[in-house]
Amino acid sequence: MMEVFNMKEEELSQLGAAVTTNEIKQQPILWQEALDNYMAKQTEINQFLAEIKQVKPIRVIFTGAGTSAYVGDTVLPYLKGKMDETIWNVMSIPTTDLVSNPTDFFKAEIPTLLVSFARSGNSPESLAAVKLGQQIVNEFYQLTITCAADGVLAEQAVGDKRNLVLLMPEKSNDKGFAMTGSFTCMTLTTLLVFDSLITTKKVDYVQKLIQLGEDVLKREEEIQKIIELDFNRVIYLGSGSLAGLTREAQLKLLELTAGKIATVFDSSMGFRHGPKSFVNDKTLVVVFVSNDPYTRQYDLDILDELSKDQIAEYVGGLMVPKEANYEGNHFAYLESGSILPDGYLALAYVIFAQMVALKASIKVENLPDTPSPTGTVNRVVQGVTIHPLIK
């Protein structure tokens, strides 16, 4: 049984996994640093948002490409329930959609706050989305959440009073191919910035998250048993914010295995409407079970249904034990996580998915740190032509 997270650096390097393994492991430490950074800038953040509110209602667009886009998809359902939508009209739109169809989303007469998520801050779509917003929207503001102080997105904000930059912990600027700490730190920071909860509650949530994250990292043996099953397909399902998270979970696996393992994501209820056809006898199905008692029922329903179908190689749930639970295969989180709303719980769940992706990559004899041997995909996307918008 290969326990990667207990290996020495030299052994990990031979597997091409040293960078990615360490970047997954360090996330609970980075979450504390992200909280500290937020606390240090809380007054500045609140003043920035208070000034924007003067031109309400504001269209808020969470945006990024790939994993960075999934930050917005993950936080959106939770934050829509916490933000005053008479002031903030919040949506999640990838930069790839903003750039290809800018006039569908940017309107001259609608004040807009573009919240850009970026690891490097150098992706051509991220830079183009900003330029298009500036070109089209009369009242245009930016919140730039990035891991790279020397990236173009951060540097071009200098001196711009309508652009607040929030830098993530330095080590969240992942050196490996896959975004891990960058995703979770940007997600956590966004929750802290826009959640209407009092600060003490946010601090409590982060402390609980750190406990859950550290616990998952110690339980590699349980995950390894799943990896040793006979599978070549993986499905992630969830509801609300956890449905958003399924996009990131499946992408990590697809990236790190270079497509040697096929992946699908969907909502727990939506899966029945066609995508369920993907299930065969070499399929793993993992359901992110909600902490919300009402929503949880739908996650448990699909787990029961897929288990009774007796088709998939493995059907299991990630969940914090509560009154209603799935009695079949499951990975149980610490009960201290029962207070976490799904937007926050997503960060503890994604560590499991990151570990699965890493270990599956090694299983199929790929190199997690450099998973694309042909160079088909790159750490920062290449080959993008940005066409000018003629007004």
In this predicted structure, the answer to whether residue 382 has a pLDDT above a threshold of 80 is no
- Numbers of helices and strands, H then E, in the chain: 14, 10
Find out whether 248 and 183 touch, Cβ atoms under 8 Å.
yes
21-24 long-range contacts (CB < 8 A, ≥24 apart) are 21/358, 21/368, 23/171, 23/174, 23/175, 23/176, 23/180, 23/181, 24/180, 24/181, 24/217, 24/351, 24/354, 24/355, 24/358
pLDDT of the residue at 378: 61
In this predicted structure, the answer to whether residue 1 has a pLDDT above a threshold of 60 is no
9-26 pLDDT per residue, tens = 999 999 999 999 999 999
Q: In the numeric block, which tokens belong to residue 273?
A: 């409407």
The strand pairing partners of 59, in sequence order, are: 89, 112
Determine the residue type at 175.
K
In which band, very low, low, confident or very high, does the pLDDT at 189 lie, cut at 50, 70 and 90?
very high
Find out whether 269 and 302 touch, Cβ atoms under 8 Å.
yes
Q: In the numeric block, which tokens belong to residue 110?
A: 């609608």
Find out whether 230 and 223 touch, Cβ atoms under 8 Å.
no
In which band, very low, low, confident or very high, does the pLDDT at 371 lie, cut at 50, 70 and 90?
confident
Q: What is the sign, positive or negative, of the torsion defined by CA atoms of 81, 82, 85, 90?
A: negative
Find out whether 296 and 266 touch, Cβ atoms under 8 Å.
no
Find out whether 226 and 353 touch, Cβ atoms under 8 Å.
no
Q: What is the pTM of this model?
A: 0.95
In which band, very low, low, confident or very high, does the pLDDT at 388 lie, cut at 50, 70 and 90?
confident
Find out whether 195 and 202 touch, Cβ atoms under 8 Å.
yes
pLDDT of the residue at 309: 97
83-131 pLDDT per residue, tens = 999 999 999 999 999 999 999 999 999 999 999 999 998 989 999 999 9
H or E element: which one contains 122? Answer: none
